[in-house]
Amino acid sequence: MLIDRTQLLGCPVLSLHVGQPIAEVLEPIIDPNDLKIIGFVVGGGVIGGEIGNILRVESVREYSDIGIIVDSEDVFVSRVDVMKIDEIMSLEFKLTGLKCVTKKGTKLGKITSYTVDTNNFEIMQIVVQRPVLKAFIDPELLISRNEIVEVDDYKVTVKDEEDKIRKRSVKEDFVPNFVNPFRQPSGALSFEKESSSGCEEKLGKN
C-alpha cells in the first residue's frame, strides 16, 4: 500500500514480545542512490541506555494501520553498527525541500512530501509544490519514481513536464489482510439494505 510521508512521522513501533508500543518513528533514513528507505531513527519508549535508536527496514515484520510491528526491542541498533546506514546518515540527505526540475531545466517547484510503498519501503512518488505563478493551475504535482532521472544534493531532475506528470492523488485507505494481535475484537455490524422495489414504493407514496 502507498502511504504519505506524514503517516510515517510519529508512527508507533509495536513489539510482539511485550504487546505494546516501544518507540516511535522520528525520521526515515533515505538512500539517495535508489530513493529507498533503509531504516528509521526512532525515539521514546524504551529507547536509551544500551539500546540503539535505529530500526532497519529488514527488522520490520509488518506495517499496519496501527503502526510498525517488530519482534522486540532487540531489533534496534546503533548507527555505527551498520556501515551502510552510517554512510547514508553522514550524507545528511533530505528529500523534502529539494528543488524539482526537468531535463530541459524547467523549474517545477519544491518537493514537500512523498509517498512510500510499505511492502518494500521504496519512495514511489514525490509531491512537488508549484511556484506561485503556476500554482493557480496545478497547486501540486505527483511525480512517479519512473520519471526521476537524477538526484543530487540540491535538486531532483525528472523527465520533461509533459511526460506523465499527474496532479496529486494519494491513496491512503487500507484494509488489513491479517489478524492483528494488537487490535481489540469488535462485533461485526450488519446492515439490511432495502430492496429496489421498496425504494420505488416510498418514492411512489411521496
CATH topology of domain 2-91: Photosynthetic Reaction Center; Chain H, domain 2 (3.90.50)
Above 50 in pLDDT, residue 5?
yes
Host H or E run for residue 126 = strand 122-129
**Tens digits of residue pLDDT in 136-154:** 466 788 999 999 999 999 9
CB neighbour list of residue 63: distance below 8 Å, 6 or more residues apart: 3, 69, 118
Q: Which of 93, 95, 131, 87 is nearest to 111 (CA)?
A: 95
Q: How far is CA 5 from CA 29, 189, 202, in A?
A: 12, 33, 48
Beta partners for residue 115, in sequence order: 4, 125
Above 90 in pLDDT, residue 122?
yes
Distance of CA 32 to the CA centre of its chain: 16
35 HSE (CA, 13 A, CB side):
23
**Do the first three CATH levels of 2-91 and 99-167 match, i.e. the same topology?**
no
**Tens digits of residue pLDDT in 50-74:** 678 999 999 999 999 999 999 999 9
Are 25 and 8 within 8 A, CB to CB? yes
**What are the boundaries of each domain within the chain?**
2-91, 99-167
Are 101 and 107 within 8 A, CB to CB? yes
Q: How far is CA 110 from CA 81, 141, 157, in A?
A: 34, 10, 12
Instruction: Enter the C-alpha cell of residue 95.
Output: 528529500
Rounded CA-CA distance 6/78 in Å is 24
Above 70 in pLDDT, residue 176?
no
Question: Regarding the domain with residue range 99-167, which homologous superfamily does it belong to in the CATH classification?
Answer: PRC-barrel domain (2.30.30.240)
Are 24 and 45 within 8 A, CB to CB? yes
Residue 200 has what pLDDT?
45
Q: What is the pTM of this model?
A: 0.74
Alpha helices in the chain (DSSP H): 83-91, 196-205
**Tens digits of residue pLDDT in 70-97:** 999 999 999 989 999 999 999 999 999 9
Instruction: Enter the C-alpha cell of residue 117.
Output: 510503498
